[in-house]
Structure 1
Amino acid sequence: MKNMNIAIDGPAGAGKSTVAKMVADQLSYVYIDTGAMYRAVTYEALKQNVDVNDGLNLIHLLHQLKIDLMNQEGKQIIQVNGVNITEEIRSKAVTNQVSYVAKHLEIREEMVKRQQELAEGGGTVMDGRDIGTAVLPFAELKIFLTASVDERAKRRHEELLSKGHPSDLNILKNEIRKRDQIDSEREVAPLKKATDAIEIDSTKMTIPEVVEIILSLARERKDMMK
């Protein structure tokens, strides 16, 4: 399976990153968190007071950023120009603005280029919003992972509380609906299921159950590639 690329798309809070990390670990693949890359740009834009609606200034900023995804002791580390910003990019401020950054054509074109370069050798699991449709349209296995808004908000709510952060479930539901709308309606590479993607609704499933389904599908694709 060393030459296979696995694309996992889906809306915010569907569990893509958690599932993708586990699948990559089981297959000894490289996990590429494209969402973290967009979050990194968003974080830097907010820090440097760059308007998230200004595509030209954002792409100028991005060209100055070296974004590295690394694995340290089983955990993914995000660095920008050598600085670890792994925790910072998960802030509420970044979460609420990242969809605005990601909708710009200039930003997406540069990010897709970088992401495709990372996947050139195969053996990757990449998750995001447009992996199967725009980034890796020829990926051997495409998954569209989804869950109800209520379930996604509940998961995020529990995650925040477990980390000691305040959280309001109703506000989270509204924020997730808003992100879904922005991601689905943007002109450039909107969130949508690839025609050849396999949809998995994780609303009533555990993470290990979802992972096992994807691993089983990967084994089937491996057999087909022989």
Structure 2
Amino acid sequence: MAEGEIITIDGPAGSGKSTVGRALAQRLGFLYLDTGAMYRAVALSALRLSIGRDEGERLGLLCRDLPLSFDADKIPPAVILGKEDISKAIRSPEMDLLSSEISASPQVREAMTALQRRIASEKNVVAEGRDMGTVVFPRARHKLFLTAPPAVRAERRYAERISRGERPERETVIKELLQRDHQDETREIAPLRPAPDAFIIDTGSMAIPEVLHAIIIRLLSNGLHISAHGDKIKC
């Protein structure tokens, strides 16, 4: 397999793309590129530095100098800003909405897209986000788009927040998810939508192993033969 093999996974919040992306990357021996976490890290840094969402130039400079890294030894991989583990700090409703707003900045998009492409030029990656197949890696051979009904996605988000010790109202979770959907789908730059050649999977009634099975079958039929470990992929 040539270096720089790219599998993109896009989709709305709660569609399962992060869970599936991590599992798929582990299965194939690929790097898991969590671009959503990257934008959340930018949003958190901007909030701490009192940089407004409309201050494009300052946001662009922030992105270019951001000391961001991932600790792949942890499961899921930890998001490190400087020497601080910000994995929990970026997983909040506030960061959900702020990262969507921040990511609409042309300067932020330009800087982060360049970084994501640079990472993918050096490794085999599973790139998960909202514009991986449409904007960042439009020439990728393997493009996936995960979706699910809003009610199902909201329930997943509710369960996720409960597992973190939060006590949100279900109605609030649904409202926030729909607001995030609207922001992502209607923004002028890189709106959320499937790439024309993406394989679309509705995960609403599927367990993670079923989703992975469907993806592996698709990848095999699309020319992916050998895992990064040199073993034949079996389903």
TM-score, length basis structure 1: 0.94
In the alignment, structure 2 segments of 5+ residues that lack a partner are 227-235
Q: CA distance change for structure 1 residues 146 and 223 in 2, over 3 Å: closer, same or farther?
A: closer
2:107 corresponds in structure 1 to 106
1:149 positional shift: 0.8
CA contact (8 A) 1:9 1:144 kept: yes
Cα pair distance change 1:82/1:142, threshold 3 Å: same
Correspondence for 1:221: 222
The count of aligned residue pairs is: 225
Counting only pairs closer than 5 Å after superposition, residues 56-135 of structure 1 correspond to structure 2 as 56-135=57-136
State whether structure 2 residue 34 is matched by structure 1 residue 33.
yes
CA 1:164–1:224 in structure 2 vs 1: closer, same or farther (change >3 Å)?
A: closer
CA–CA distance in structure 2, aligned partners of residues 156 and 177 of structure 1: 12
Indicate if the aligned counterparts of 1:102 and 1:108 stay in contact, CA closer than 8 A. Answer: yes
Which residue number in structure 1 is paired with residue 195 of structure 2? 194
Contact 2:154 2:174 in 1 (8 A): yes
The corresponding residue for 1:203 is 204
Using the TM superposition, name which of 67-76 and 40-49 deviates more: 67-76
Contact 1:45 / 1:51 at 8 angstroms: preserved in 2?
yes
Offset of residue 198 of structure 1? 0.7
Q: 2:231 aligns to what? A: none
In structure 1, list runs of 5 or more residues that go unmatched.
Answer: none
Residue deviations 1:69-124 (CA, integer Å, cap 9, x gap)? 23014430111223221111112221221110011111001101000011113521
What secondary structure is seen at the aligned counterpart in 1 of 2:190?
coil
Specify the code of the residue in structure 2 equivalent to 1:110: A
**Which AA in structure 1 matches 2:174?**
K
Distance 2:65 2:8 in 1: 28
Task: Please give the alpha-carbon distance, in whole angstroms, between the structure 2 residues aligned to 1:57 and 1:121.
Answer: 28
AA of the residue aligned to 1:205: M
1:161 aligns with 2:162: yes
Q: Is the 8 A contact 1:53 1:100 kept in 2?
A: no
SS where residue 72 of structure 1 aligns?
Answer: coil
Question: Is residue 173 from structure 1 mapped to residue 174 from structure 2 by the alignment?
Answer: yes
Cα 1:77/1:224, change in 2 over 3 Å: closer
Question: Separation in 1 of the partners of 2:217 and 2:30?
Answer: 15
User: Do 1:38 and 1:98's aligned partners in 2 also have CA atoms closer than 8 Å?
Assistant: yes
* Cα pair 2:46 2:52 within 8 Å, conserved: yes
| Distance in structure 1 (CA, Å) of the matches to 2:2 and 2:28 | 9
Shift >3 Å, 4+ stretches: none
Cα deviation code 1:149-188 (max 9, x no counterpart) = 1111100101111221011111111111111111111111
1:185 paired residue number = 186
Q: Counterparts of 1:42 and 1:59 in 2: how far apart (Å)?
A: 12
Indicate if the aligned counterparts of 1:19 and 1:210 stay in contact, CA closer than 8 A: yes
Give the secondary-structure state (helix, strand or coil) at the position aligned to 2:192: coil
Distance (whole Å) between structure 1 residues aligned to residue 147 and residue 17 of structure 2 = 9
3-state SS of the aligned residue for 2:65? coil
Contact 2:63 2:112 in 1 (8 A): no
> Structure 1 counterpart of 2:77, which letter?
Q
